[in-house]
Amino acid sequence: MPDFEYIPGSCNIGKGEIRRRQLVAIIGLIVSVMTLLVFGLFDSPGEFHLGIFFPLFVTSIGFVQSRSKFCLAYGFAGTFNIGKLGDIKRVTSKEDRQADRVTALKILGKSFLLASLATAVVLVLPF
């Protein structure tokens, strides 16, 4: 019995895909930390610090997707991948596709909120 199964609006990726999202989160976090270091080293103007949003957004998207066991791109595309990597299947039911799109929008919103909050923290840090 597989560890994961496709559940409309709830789970559309398996272990391999979750690991990919975790890797995206780690890479985004590394880029975020490097960006912060550049801000500190070069005494960059405060408005430049808004640029941290983008790597933090990548981090947030990877993190939220991995925790949710749901890929927002697959949700928007009407697909899922529970099995081996690259074995993408189409969602056949219109209702299931709609449930997946709603979840994808929620993940996008959560990720945006997390990245916005983290960016706000960066903006108040003394550099």
Q: What is the pLDDT of residues 85-108, one digit of tens each?
A: 999 999 999 999 999 999 999 999
Q: Is 80 helix (H, G, I), strand (E, B) or coil?
A: strand
pTM (2 d.p.):
0.92
- Which helix (H) or strand (E) element contains residue 89? strand 89-90
**What is the phi/psi pair of residue 80, to 5°?**
-155, 160
| C-beta separation of 53 from 111 below 8 A | no
* Average pLDDT rounded to a whole number, residues 115-126: 92
**Over the stretch 14-55, which tens digit does the pLDDT of each residue have?**
999 999 999 999 999 999 999 999 988 988 888 889 999 999
How many residues in the chain? 127
Higher pLDDT: 63 or 4? It is 63
pLDDT computed for residue 1 by the predictor: 44
Q: What is the largest CA-CA distance in the chain?
A: 55
